[in-house]
Structure 1
Amino acid sequence: MCSPVIKGFLSHQEKKIVCYYGTWATYRSGNGKFDVGNINADLCTHLVYTFVGINSQGNVVSLDPYLDLPDNWGRDNFRIFNALKQTNTKLKTILAVGGWNEGSAKYSIMAASSALRKNFVSSAIKMIMTYGFDGLDIDWEYPNRRDSVNGKADIDNFTKLLKELRTEFDKYGLLLSAAVASTRDTASLSYDIPTIAQYLDLLGLMTYDMYGPWDTVTGHNSPLHKGEGDEHEIRENLNTVDVAVEYWLTQGFPPEKLVIGLPFYGHTFTLINPNVYSVRAPSYGPGISGPYTATNGNIGYNEFCSLLREQKWSIYQDSLAKVPYAVQNRNWVSYDDVDSLIAKAKYALSMNIAGVMIWSIETDDFHGICHNETFPLLRAVKRILSSSNSSGTTVGPVPTTPLLSSSTTSNPVTTQVPTTQHSSTPTTPKNDFTCKSAGMFPNPKDCGSFYVCIQNLDGSFFPNYFSCPANLYWDQEMMSCNYPYAVSCTV
């Protein structure tokens, strides 16, 4: 069990800013390119390097050896990343394993086997110690969900994994954290909350993706409170930051170990009727993509703030949910800005939780193109958390950085009345693939997708279809999505 004082972390009065860095941004073009050298090491208390994965033996492995490692004239990013601690001696660096693209199946299999768990723990420690990280972040998305192989058994197996990691990590003074599903409907399926609390130094609630273009109506990516369109929802069923935090706390998770997720990206929708554009307006799928992230339905703040300056958009504020949204013809975008993130940081202080986590710093306006300073979102959050006193209140005024407006753009700020109600998430399976055994297999018709075959109770196999993010191919050798240049695919 962890000691009462969280090892390696700041005291609970000094709030944490846990910053995730998406390493794939190094391959982006133009102003979207973000290398380790672009990181401002003074703006975060913890930096998280994403992602590494695991192989069939449960061993932790690099998903991009050329980028991460020095071998074969590699770029040696692990060491360069950890060298940031020379700039900020208080900084902690954490290696994240898993992520959405890794799926759940491999982790379900690994966690169910004592031998594979042992491999995982020992290989994680070796990688962490070799390259100078301070700990490990478990981002299994998610136990008992998606393509899980062992179903409900994942819940106990995840707990066993954390317990075994804790036992070995304590020998080296290493930190152990996890990123988890946040809402009651999702978290209740995946975690034994009071028990995992014993083994974690820090837990990050992924309080975003509350609504997205997979829904049939528009909705906020990360609403702080009950807002437009929620009038008839009972509180415990709300997908909001505050209700998610309350759920985890009432389930017994200690506030001094809890951080809430702040998204530096937005979700985009395509309206069915451009004249019906409120929250919960009918939508028929993903909307615009950004020039750097290049994924329909998602857009980085750095990409969207440029569009707001260059084009004519109408910006609306949901004064209840404390988040904005923007409309342009059939385009509808839910995003966070300086003001909404300040509101969430103040909420974290009011709940006396450990702080916040950022997903992710490479989509901030890190060049300061839209604002009068670099990293305006991250700086705004830091100002709030740094100005807190021991009672969790803020001291003095907190300056914000205005969006630099285009001379040809006028963006009214109003509030709209909702017209529709939230509906459940639709699914569009493409299960025309025939499974011959359990495991993960390439889609013979498409380089950018794959199948996870699960064995049914009757011995047959069922295929689950997954699509890689934009511009990535399925790599059967690595068992993960990878860059096209590294994959042999002739489809």
Structure 2
Amino acid sequence: MSLFLKFVFGVVLLTVFVEGHDKVVVCYYGTWATYRSGDGKFSVSDINASLCTHLVYTFVGIHDDGTVISLDPYLDLPDNQGLDNFKKFNALKQQNNQLKTILAVGGWNQGSANYSTMAASATLRKTFITTARDMVLTYGFDGLDIDWEYPNQRDSTQGVADVNNFSLLLKELREEFDKHGLLITVAVAAVESSASLSYDIPNVAKYVDLVNIMTYDLYGAWDSITGHNAPLHVDQGRIYAVDAALNYWLSQGCPPEKVVMGIPFYGRTFNLTDANNNGVGAPSSGVGFAGQYTATKGFVGYNEFCTKLNTETWDVLYDSIAQVPYAIQDKNWVSYDDPNSIAKKVEYAMNLGIAGAMVWSIETDDFHGKCGEDFALLRAINSALAGSSTTTTTSTTTPSTTTTTKRPTTTSTAAPTHPTTVTTTTSTTTTSTVKPTTTTTSAPSALCTKEGPIPNPDDCSTFFICVQGNYGMVPTLMNCPANLVWDDENKICNYRYLVKCEA
């Protein structure tokens, strides 16, 4: 094929995926994947800008004075010979002139306290809005994603007042951003038991362009039994499902044209209590194995797991009610999504008339095409949105009936140890069904002088949350996600090399 014909063919493919449907595909990008090793490393240059309508850069943070700050200046900015990722990320719009780039602030590791304190103060809200606006405009983003996890939950400083304060923050942000034609999106808890605590849904929807519903992490190794990460439907006796979450948000007044369904590009791993009792709802004794590159127990990227399915012996089954696959190997139990299950979710969601789909997150798709076509999951979304009669498949696609598939056994490669690799858990965007590891400590109450987070002087990988009890301040020990440590200056779990840690 001539170079000219290859160019024309490439333009045609770009047109198909960008113009083949009028729905949104919101792609979150976990920037810490830049620091992963080998085939897990995912830089801005690895992003296929033709497969997303909105790209979300995660995360920047909130200082306790309300200022929006870079959490990794070396990665984000050009100063001091930095990698200048903000600029590179926004340059992707040269590849797709319809692409919108969004800067996300917050996430799971940020916690709720700084958001809660900021939203309660007119002065701090103004600081937040002004500095967020300046950062977005300076570096060429098209908008801001508010990822507060979660109002009136976790380490909130204001409690139930967060609900109205969140709406007020969005209202004031909307007034300022409209002056500059900037977008506002939000990442929100999915299930009713969490969302009902955190949001005045009609008011939230009133001030934002898109509502990204985190319909994943509905079950995980924090539960005592196995369950699907993102089941489309559930049978009696189970509560959390994608369909229930979407219908809850719609029933509470969120316009369908603003609703975006979340899709996980990763699986949740469990450790079975008994290898012979291995169905959905089987007893689990805790978190399962970690992915080779993501290096977080209980979590495996699709790119990591599809290669395991192709090189190891696994029993792969399909839950006809949940409409998702799961896999078993001795005491290993994994819930995940593949191209077929994703197509089912998209087809269901489109019947509700919603805006489109959101993914967490693109760096754990099979972006190298190790198991078939590159970006198999992202392509499956676009195909389903375009109403294609065929769904992109890979060698790990499960059939539509319960089936056991055996694959030859080979020796798997252990996760590499690399001191400069920065990994984090995707709990940066989870629903409140995730239960972080916490322990009420017997440490003296003198540790706490006010409510909120404080460092643990004996262990940088943990911190305390001080809460007013009946007889004084009660410190509760909290664990940072894997390979992160407490950053007391910014009040978040942060990359170790960015934090002075002596414990």
Work out whether the TM-score is over 0.5: yes
- The residue number in structure 1 matching 2:145 is 137
Question: Residue deviations 1:63-118, cap 9 Å, x none?
Answer: 11111011111111101100000110000000000000000011110000010000
Q: 2: CA distance between counterparts of 1:93 and 1:426?
A: 31
Shift of 1:448: 1.2
Residues 216 and 425, structure 1, Cα contact 8 Å, conserved in 2 = no
SS at match of 2:157: coil
Q: 1: CA distance between counterparts of 2:104 and 2:196?
A: 23
Distance 1:107 1:182, change over 3 A: same
1:73 aligns with 2:78: no
Q: 2: CA distance between counterparts of 1:379 and 1:280?
A: 31
Residues 309 and 409, structure 1, Cα contact 8 Å, conserved in 2 = no
Q: 1: CA distance between counterparts of 2:476 and 2:175?
A: 35
Matched to 1:476, the amino acid is D
Aligned residues: 454
- The residue number in structure 1 matching 2:281 is 280
Matched to 1:432, the amino acid is S
SS at match of 2:159: coil
Q: 2: CA distance between counterparts of 1:213 and 1:400?
A: 28
Q: 2: CA distance between counterparts of 1:104 and 1:463?
A: 16
- The residue number in structure 1 matching 2:396 is 403
Equivalences for residues 158-169 of structure 1 within 5 A: 158-169=166-177
Distance 1:260 1:27, change over 3 A: same
- The residue number in structure 2 matching 1:467 is 479
Residues 437 and 478, structure 2, Cα contact 8 Å, conserved in 1 = no
Matched to 1:320, the amino acid is I
Shift of 1:336: 0.7
Q: 2: CA distance between counterparts of 1:218 and 1:427?
A: 18
2:54 pairs, out of 39, 43, 46, with 46
Shift of 1:332: 0.7
Equivalences for residues 46-195 of structure 1 within 5 A: 46-195=54-203
Equivalences for residues 374-393 of structure 1 within 5 A: 374-385=374-385, 387=386
Matched to 1:168, the amino acid is E
Shift of 1:216: 0.6
Distance 1:311 1:402, change over 3 A: closer
Q: 1: CA distance between counterparts of 2:350 and 2:191?
A: 20
SS at match of 1:343: helix
Shift of 1:119: 0.4
Question: Residue deviations 1:451-489, cap 9 Å, x none?
Answer: 22234477x322233222211121223322222222222
Q: 2: CA distance between counterparts of 1:430 and 1:307?
A: 38
1:481 aligns with 2:493: yes
Shift of 1:428: 4.5
Shift of 1:208: 0.4
- The residue number in structure 2 matching 1:367 is 368
1:429 aligns with 2:439: yes
Q: 1: CA distance between counterparts of 2:479 and 2:155?
A: 13
What stretches of structure 1 of length at least 5 have no aligned partner? 1-9, 388-393, 411-422
Shift of 1:248: 0.6
- The residue number in structure 1 matching 2:355 is 354
Q: 2: CA distance between counterparts of 1:484 and 1:97?
A: 20
What stretches of structure 2 of length at least 5 have no aligned partner? 1-17, 398-404, 411-432
1:231 aligns with 2:236: yes
- Identity rate of aligned residues, in percent? 58
Matched to 1:436, the amino acid is T
Q: 1: CA distance between counterparts of 2:336 and 2:157?
A: 34
- The residue number in structure 2 matching 1:316 is 317
Q: 2: CA distance between counterparts of 1:465 and 1:365?
A: 37
Distance 1:211 1:248, change over 3 A: same
- The residue number in structure 2 matching 1:391 is none
Matched to 1:333, the amino acid is V
SS at match of 2:56: strand
Shift of 1:196: 1.3
Q: 1: CA distance between counterparts of 2:278 and 2:389?
A: 38
Q: 1: CA distance between counterparts of 2:406 and 2:228?
A: 25
Residues 339 and 392, structure 2, Cα contact 8 Å, conserved in 1 = no
Residues 138 and 177, structure 1, Cα contact 8 Å, conserved in 2 = yes
Q: 2: CA distance between counterparts of 1:466 and 1:24?
A: 22
Residues 216 and 426, structure 1, Cα contact 8 Å, conserved in 2 = no
Residues 97 and 137, structure 1, Cα contact 8 Å, conserved in 2 = yes
Q: 2: CA distance between counterparts of 1:409 and 1:259?
A: 40
Q: 1: CA distance between counterparts of 2:190 and 2:19?
A: 24
Matched to 1:461, the amino acid is M
